[in-house]
Amino acid sequence: MEPLGPSDPPRVSTYTLLNRLGSGGMGRVYLARSQGGRLAAVKVIHAHISDDPRFRRRFRREIEAARTVSGHYTAPVIDADPDADPPWLATAFIDAPDLGAVVSAEGPHPPAAVLALAAALAEALEAIHAAGLVHRDLKPSNILCAPDGPRVIDFGIVRAPDHTEITQGLLGTPAYMSPEQADGRPAGPPSDIFSLGGVLYFAATGRPPFGTGPLRPLMARVANAVPDLTDVSPALHTLIGTCLAKDPQARPTATTLLKTLAAEPEPPPTAEPEPPITRHRTRRSRAALAGVIVLAAALVVIVLERRDDPWSVDDVQSSPVVAGGLVYVSHSDGTAAYDARTGRRRWFSPGADQYVTAVRDGMLIAGGARSMSGLQATTGTRRWHVPTAERYCGHLIPGGPIVLKEPSASDLKVSVLNPSTGARTWTKVLPKANCAAQAGANDTTRVNVPDETGMVSYALASGKSWRFTEETQNATSDATNVYILTEKNRLHARDAETGRPRWEAALPSTSTTDPHPSLTVTGSTVYALAEDGVHAFDTASGKRRWRLPLPWVSGGFMHRDGTTAYVVQRGAYTVSAVDLNTGRRLWHRQWEIDTEVIAAGETLYLTSEDDRFLRRDVHRLTAVDPRTGKERWRDDMEVKGLATTGTAAYAVDQKGTLKALDANTGRPLTD
């Protein structure tokens, strides 16, 4: 790292440049800080290259391609501007030395450490190749030895293998090029495997497999010479030798390498003394060892699996999502999936400011500061990435697409996205609207967006719309009607397709200025949870079916089978269960402090808090039998997020720790 020079700009877009990290044939790389204080590595392209229109086109494609790559062992692209002068891109900054520096300082690694490195790099290449890309410049200086595992960086010359337009000159570093690169032939994923073999050779011996020196003889050796494996441990001969095969078809794929490494026994220990442990460590991927292998320069430590320990996860930044036996959470540096039963991490996808929201059709939907992504739920591989406004809101339609709302100073852009591909089905711009109003939980065919003068209802499939011209508090819909509650406490039913009036009914006026009753429709009944109680109306006629007076209602939750509502009477510190068919109160229970219903299903979950003057505040998570209101268990924790299954609750506390609790007993789940 070097200080900035007189020719270096002080800023690139919104990034303040701090130091030089390095330079190469394409540009110069800087350590930079974003407006929010996040560190990034910003690559600024050389002017003589960026002046070429062909390069601009290729660079734009490569940025789009690099954004799709995810995986624990790659550094994500977080920002870029291919049209700037000069163009630039920013990746997550990883404060770690590169493999070349580690080997130069500490010498070659022992066989087990090389196997650990091989598994981690094979997993990184698997993610790159799964996205349809080729790295083309895998070398020791492009591999950072971070404490939690190596990172493959510098996607400056990544491109899809079917793109033929390239910048003039060699693509890659001669000492680690494949024969097909050296000969100018097409280079696909097998080219990266050859480079991987060269990197592993370097890690095992401290030198490149074909030496160094003048370019022409070096390229000839890469294309024709057989690497000398004399100084390579016999335990590594097959691995490195097959990767360095001259014939691309004879090399294994990244996936094959992972499977092979998983099946290989550990190499026998040698009698050589172990070097001292340093701070450089690499954690092996799912493949090579039964435990967790930590590479401490040249020392491999086996960390045995713990049994019967409560499982928990730290640094959780958002509410968890549970689906398919996995718990998905957002960390400060990326997204991860954990086994719902044991808490063992299944995968990690780097990327700051990324918040999980839901799983749909095998895709984990994650939002960021200026983007939304779809990650393969089983692997974490990023399948699509959609740039958005800096601040946006959105929700996933039950059984349907994503509704995305992007506000600006004067209007609101409303889009519907396919959760499998991220493609926008349609986009509309609505003046004088904002993100404040959200669609009802039952809206499966309409997108209802209030604005300053009323509300616009869009057909989910086509974007066709109609307008309602009274100020709106809330709205929900079913396949037949849209139900709208106005500021005058009138409930209107409008034909979902045309907007024509069907009926209207009155709700009692409330004494507060901001009651905002909630609306829910189930079957043939629409329910309004207002400040004075619960109201039920026939969806066809608007006739009131029943009313249950419950003063000071401030929130409610519908049971998952649509038969029971759990409502909070905040002023009375009471939670009541209401039969939605009859309007009868099934049970009620008083709490000594303010309580909120946060989940309902086979277990009812409540959070309570009491802010006390000069005393410790009280915070609780309580599990209740939904049929009787009887308390099952409680845990003194302040809940910041919760996801549930029939057998477990996954709660995030105020410190960002995710805890897995048994739904029946509240005891921590163990691994």
- Identify the pLDDT of residue 275: 36
Residue 109 maps to a domain:
yes
Number of domains in the chain: 3
Find the distance separating the first CA and the last CA of the chain, reported in whole Å: 43
CB 625 within 8 A of CB 283: no
Residue where the block lists tokens 């039913």:
493
Q: With pLDDT > 70 as the criterion, what percentage of the chain qualifies?
A: 85
Q: What is the pLDDT of residue 278?
A: 31
Q: Are residues 599 and 558 in the same domain?
A: yes
In a domain, 62, yes or no: yes
pLDDT of 472 reads 87
Do 264 and 188 lie in one domain? The reply is yes
277 or 473, which is more confident? 473
140 and 289, same domain (yes or no): yes
Q: Band the pLDDT of 271: cuts 50, 70, 90.
A: very low
Taking CA atoms, 402 is separated from 359, 451, 474, 480, in Å, by 11, 20, 20, 21
* Section 373-384 average pLDDT: 90
Helix (H, G, I), strand (E, B) or coil at 123: helix
Q: Are residues 81 and 121 in the same domain?
A: no
Give the mean model confidence (pLDDT) for residues 62-86.
77
Which residue is listed with tokens 């020719």?
7
Query: In sequence order, what E strands does 222-286 have?
Result: 281-283
**CA atoms within 13 A of residue 43's CA, in its CB half-sphere:** 22
Instruction: Give the residue ranges of the annotated binding site.
Output: 43
Predicted pLDDT of residue 162: 41
- Least confident span in 128-137, 523-532, 650-659: 128-137
Task: Show which of 57, 73, 92 is a domain's final residue.
Answer: 92
CB 368 within 8 A of CB 355: yes
Q: Which of 303, 336, 356 is the last residue of a domain?
A: 303
- Burial 321-348, CB ≥16 within 10 A → b, else e: bbbeebbbbbbebbbbbbebbebeebbb
Of 383 and 294, the one with more pLDDT: 383
pLDDT in tens, 293-326: 333 333 333 333 334 568 889 999 889 999 989 9
What per-residue confidence (pLDDT) applies to 494? 97
**Catalytic residue flag (residue 309):** no
State mean pLDDT over 233-249: 92
42: in domain? yes
Q: Are residues 25 and 170 in the same domain?
A: no
Q: Who has greater pLDDT, 612 or 50? A: 50
pLDDT at residue number 571: 67
In-domain check, residue 545: no
pLDDT greater than 60 at residue 185: yes
Identify the CA nearest to 470 among candidates 486, 450, 494, 447. Answer: 486
Greatest mean pLDDT among 170-174, 248-252, 507-511, 557-561: 248-252
Q: Do 80 and 31 reside in the same domain of the chain?
A: yes
Verify that 39 and 106 share a domain, yes or no. Answer: no
Domain boundary residue among 273, 303, 333?
303
71 and 104 in a single domain? The answer is no
* Per-residue confidence band for 329, with pLDDT thresholds at 50, 70 and 90: very high
657 falls within a domain: yes
Over range 205-232, report the average pLDDT.
87
Same domain, 256 and 194: yes
- Is there a domain that residue 127 lies in? yes
Residue 420 located in a structural domain? no
Same domain membership, residue 169 and residue 41: no
Coil, helix or strand for 566? strand
7 and 155 part of one domain? no
Q: How many CB atoms neighbour CB 664 within 10 A? A: 15
CA angle 400/405/411 to nearest 5° reads: 145
Q: Residue 373's Cα: distance from chain center in Å?
A: 7
DSSP letters along 607-662, please? EEEE--TTS--EEEEEEE-TTT--EEEEE---EEEEEE-SSEEEEEETTS-EEEEE
Neighbours of 162 (CB within 10 A): 8
Query: Where is mean pLDDT largest: 45-59, 144-158, 265-279, 348-362?
Result: 348-362
Residue 284's pLDDT is: 33
What is the model's pLDDT at position 437?
53
Q: Look up residue 4 and give its DSSP letter.
A: -
Q: Give the pLDDT score at 169.
A: 39
Q: What is the residue-averaged pLDDT of the chain?
A: 81
Structural domain contains residue 395: no
Domain of residue 271: give its range: 99-303
What pLDDT does 309 receive? 66
Which domain CATH number covers 625? Answer: 2.130.10.10
Domain containing residue 54: CATH number: 3.30.200.20
Q: Is the same domain home to 110 and 177?
A: yes
CATH number at residue 244: 1.10.510.10
- pLDDT tens string 452-501: 888 999 999 999 999 999 988 889 999 899 999 988 889 999 999 999 99
Known binding residues for ATP are: 43
pLDDT of residue 552: 76
* Between residues 37 and 321, the one the model is more confident about: 321
State the pTM of this model: 0.55
Catalytic-role residue among 98, 137, 333, 353: 137
| Least confident residue range of 310-319, 439-448, 613-622 | 613-622
